[in-house]
Chain A
């Protein structure tokens, strides 16, 4: 196998195409050494396919993958998984049922040529770090989900990989365990010196664990940036829903954005060209009658659904700002009762211009 060395490159540099039947995954993914990148996307977006391609379990159709300066996949090059400097934490962990916890973790060091004794010493060290030393002789079937997650992480890290891949590492855990394991995982990822790619469909996991988010939908990257950037300025409906913002697309001219459906949104500042308009549901007020005075944006609409959300209620209003759009409002249960809001109610929706963020559709 020819390993092409890329000068000055560390971490992960990947830009590749994978075909699976009619589905194509075409993504660019970079992760510096020490950086944690979350690959975020809905089910079927191609997240697990991306992990399998990076791990070498799937051949890429085009493009290139380099890990720590070594090309592991390129035209005519396909390093099998066992020749890649990677560690993988699988969704349901896949701990070998026939081996003890200690021997699961020692498996990698053994294949790297360590003696049985040395491999077990390395494994014991990792179990110690994960605070599960007492599980060494246990069988995987007899330990809890949270413990299995720690063992899987220890097993993946015990080979000292340059690239750590985590495929939905928290998805198999119940809510309470998840909280604990997430904060532990965060600490272990901070200690890890290689590049890490974390696949998840949970924006909270992504924001808590990753330095940078890459959002994919239908096999393509639709947005990337720091968790704060992505949360503040979503670029697709999916991301907007994830981060809980209203998102509209239109063309700005001065203080006015015109939507494709003909509706308009007033802005506090002036902008020009194709733009996204984002505002929080909490910034949306509902009125039974058309309000007078300060709010600049007032639209009539029909309530389509109500849903409890935290301490408040999320109300979806369709037909505002125009027939093709809908808006989420977050109001108090008291306001719901006072306004007597039910699905089908006619309401007036108001948003202050100063609460609305506007940013161009073409990223800078």
Chain B
């Protein structure tokens, strides 16, 4: 292997892995039990797991049909649509939070009439956390599933149609199972993105313990007051992410 390639490749690898290793080494493991079972950490962890899972499920329900639509070869203007879907991917999450606030905040475009009619408004509720996470995670799922759909052999759908299956039946019984590994990968990515979401959450949902203070927010706060606790919480998040990746890889990624 030429050195000109090996050197930057090794550097990249180290750059990705060393900070994680540093975090694990520097974490005050002696305090682990106390920090990780503290009320605020448990509240944040619980909120994070629940909201990230809810967000991942919502992106699945909404994102898979959108990916299916984008993968249609005959759809006009599909390039523009795909570009629009990609926007939240490149947008700074804080801007996403501001955008959500302007639409769904108590005085937002939709938020104001919603508040006027029901007395409910999203900001400072766990629902806002989920919305912020869906906003940033949806493109990950859509683009992953769309790629899987494009790579899949669409002639299986023809075969199913000649066997009497209508388009919805073809979608649920042939298309979905064929791209199941892609959907699983997209869902994992979306879940991981939702779990790590910070900017849009703090902007749109706020930072209230137990209702909107997710793990990343907890870590950020802890870093100012108790850096050791921040390290431990970060290691916990890292562990959760790796655990899910490994779990899903064995179950779905090598199914056939």
> Residues on A close to B: CB < 8 A?
55-57, 80-82, 84, 86-88, 90, 94, 96-99, 107-108, 111-112, 139, 141, 155-156, 159
Contact = CB atoms under 8 A, between A and B. Distances in A.
B163 A107 contact: yes
Contacts of B174: 96
A167 to B, nearest CB: 11
Given A97-B178, A139-B256, A108 B159 contact: no
A119 B164 CA distance: 13
B70 to A, nearest CB: 22
- Which has the most chain A C-beta neighbours within 10 Å: B161, B162, B180, B256? B162
Interface residues of B, number: 19
Given A98-B178, A98-B180, A111-B164, A141 B158 contact: no
Contacts of A112: 164
A94 B163 contact: no
B159 A98 contact: no
Nearest to A86: B162
B85 interface: no
Contacts of A96: 156, 159-160, 174, 177-178
Given A82-B162, A96-B178, A111-B164, 7 more contacts: A55-B162, A57-B162, A82-B163, A87-B163, A97-B256, A98-B256, A99-B177
A90 B164 contact: no
B159 A90 contact: yes
Contact of B162 (A88, A98, A139): A88
Nearest to B155: A94
B71 to A, nearest CB: 18
B163 A57 contact: no
Contacts of B160: 96, 107
Nearest to B170: A82
A81 B256 contact: no
28 contacts: A55-B162, A57-B161, A57-B162, A80-B161, A80-B166, A81-B162, A82-B162, A82-B164, A87-B162, A88-B162, A90-B155, A90-B159, A94-B153, A94-B155, A94-B159, A96-B156, A96-B160, A96-B177, A97-B178, A97-B256, A107-B173, A111-B163, A111-B164, A141-B256, A155-B163, A156-B162, A159-B163, A159-B164
A55 B159 CA distance: 10
Interface in B112-169: 153, 155-156, 158-166, 169
B165 A111 contact: yes
Interface string B3-31: 00000000000000000000000000000
A55 B177 CA distance: 24
A111 B162 contact: no
Contact of B177 (A87, A94, A98, A111): A98
A152 B162 CA distance: 12
A285 B160 CA distance: 56
B151 to A, nearest CB: 13
**Minimum-distance CB pairs A-B, first 8:** A111-B164, A81-B161, A108-B163, A98-B177, A94-B159, A88-B162, A111-B165, A81-B162
A112 B178 CA distance: 22
B122 to A, nearest CB: 40
A107 B163 CA distance: 7
A152 to B, nearest CB: 9
Interface in B165-192: 165-166, 169, 173-174, 177-178, 180
